Amino acid sequence: MALLVIGISDYQVSTKPEDVMITYSLGSCIGLTAYDPIAKIGGMIHYMLPLSQIAPEKAMAKPAMFADTGVPALLRDLFSLGAQKSRIIVKAAGGSQLMDQNKIFNIGERNFLILRKILWKNNILLKANDVGGVISRTLRFEIDTGRLLVKSSRGEAEL
Amino acid sequence: MNIKEQIVSKITSFPTLPVMANRLLHALNDPELASADIAKVIQYDPALTANVLKAANSAFLGFRNPVNSISEAAFRLGTKWIFQIAISSLIYSNLKKPIPGYDLDEEKLWKHSLAVALMSEALCALLRVRDSGSIYTGALLHDIGKAVIGEFVSAHFDEVQSLIDSRKITFEKAEEEVMGIDHAELGALIAENWRFPALIIDCIRWHHSPDSAPNITPAIDIVHIADSISLMEGFGYGRDELQYQFSDKSAARMNVNSNIIELAVSQTVMTLEDIENIFKDMPAARNGQEVRK
């Protein structure tokens, strides 16, 4: 089994059933997995911010920093490896906030809102999500089965 | 002794900072000293000089010709930069230890502290707040109290958490209710014991409650905002998770909007890993003469 750690502002794809992807400490960031169960191809992204327009040069260097550049890049890579859009299963977790947080500064909420728009525009359904709260989440994603485990202080559960 | 007295009694046995840190900070605040004098202060300490030169020659800065002296580093990178590297390397050993009470593994508090320092730096630039290095240092040390209060949090965590769950209060308020003191106040007491400048002590004391400060300064607001953003973004937090509040008043005082916050995040994440790597195998600064009360 190869353990692939997805860092902050990073994404990876894999066609190897033995691979397991992990991402740690999702606060307002969002961890998204996309998986084709027939081709057994999957990928994971850990993005921090909603829109790249605030810093286009950063988006060039690190597309996975932003939802609007990172999520399409992840999907493109999966499709080029043979994943089919009609079969793709997308799940998301993270998007936490501080207590009683004002909407203007709520990066987590904006991160999730933009994600839904991107998926909606691309005609892709969000199969499951575990978003919000004041907790930190760690994700574990198995390429062989597509299983996604979400771990936090509340315990561990499959999404 | 009640819990608070037990906690406060630990302050004096807490590792002292190398005397060099104090010299640097006072040089920073001494109007008689020119900025070039910071370089002179660093040069007195061979271990510190070696650390600064190692950082100046790290791959990520990509100088073709090696930097051979502190004055050359100051010339190429600026006095502020060498101050930041020097003070970070002096504080590194106090922050890198694991803190079980908060579930902070080795290097995790360090990583969070460095993120808040770099985020403060980015905010100062975006908001045009001048910082000679005190805000950076306050940011770097804002959670130093966790290093002492950690073992007590360990013993009382369930009490703290159930108070948060039942009363919807923040983590530091629950700490104070259960133990009589929170990590911010304790950190300020540690910095007072170290005889740090008042501006830095204030950044530490009010980092979760800037609106309560008797004398609210941009430094306090910057460190509070930088800490809130770093917590949100997941830069090295522990068991306390996101159970804190972001002061809208603080944001209003500094004219911060979501654009500025997101810009600061995008800038910090690009440098955080590089700066972390610089420190990865940096030897602890020599703890020469200790600061005594």
Does residue A145 contact residue A159 with C-beta atoms inside 8 Å? Answer: no
The tokens 């510190």 sit on which residue? B48
Given an 8 Å threshold on Cβ–Cβ distance, is A49 in contact with B262? Answer: yes
State the pLDDT at residue A138.
Answer: 96
Shortest distance, CA B90 to any CA of chain A (angstroms): 27
Q: Give the dihedral sign, CA B56/B27/B230/A139.
A: positive
Radius of gyration of the CA atoms of chain B, in A: 19
State the pLDDT at residue B290.
Answer: 41
Which contiguous run of DSSP H or E holds residue A72? helix A67-80
- What tens digit of pLDDT does each residue of B156-184 get? 999 999 999 999 999 999 999 999 999 99
- What tens digit of pLDDT does each residue of A100-154 get? 878 778 999 999 999 999 999 999 999 999 999 999 999 999 999 999 999 998 8
Q: Residue B186 is which amino acid? A: L
Residue B287 lies in a domain: no
A86 is catalytic: no
Given an 8 Å threshold on Cβ–Cβ distance, is A107 in contact with B261? Answer: yes
- Residue B161 sits in a domain whose CATH number is 1.10.3210.10
A153 touches chain B (CB under 8 A): yes
State the pLDDT at residue B279.
Answer: 84
> How much of chain B, in percent, has pLDDT values that exceed 70?
94
Mean pLDDT of B26-51: 80
Does residue B241 contact residue A135 with C-beta atoms inside 8 Å? Answer: yes
State the pLDDT at residue B167.
Answer: 94
Say if strands A10-14 and A41-47 run parallel, antiparallel, or are unpaired.
Answer: antiparallel
| Stronger pLDDT, B105 or A52, i.e. the higher one | A52
State the pLDDT at residue A157.
Answer: 95
Q: Searching chain B, which residue's CA lies closest to the CA of residue A101?
A: B246
Q: Residue B112 is which amino acid? A: H
Return the axis-axis angle of helices A67-80 and A107-121, rounded to nearest 10°. 40
Given an 8 Å threshold on Cβ–Cβ distance, is A8 in contact with B234? Answer: yes
Segments forming the whole domain that contains residue B140: 3-280
- Answer whether residue A56 shows pLDDT above 70: yes
User: pLDDT averaged over chain B?
Assistant: 89
Domain residue extents for chain A: 2-158
Residue B18 lies in a domain: yes
Q: Which of B114, B107, B105 is nearest to B55 (CA)?
A: B114
Residue B285 lies in a domain: no
Total domains in chain B come to 1
Residue B291 lies in a domain: no
Query: Is the domain covering A2-158 a CATH 2.40.160.40 domain?
Result: no
State the pLDDT at residue B287.
Answer: 47
Please report the residues numbered 66 through 95 in chain A whose beta carbons come closer than 8 angstroms to any beta carbon of chain B: none
The reported pTM is 0.93
- What tens digit of pLDDT does each residue of B84-117 get? 999 999 888 889 889 988 888 888 999 999 999 9
Residue B264 lies in a domain: yes
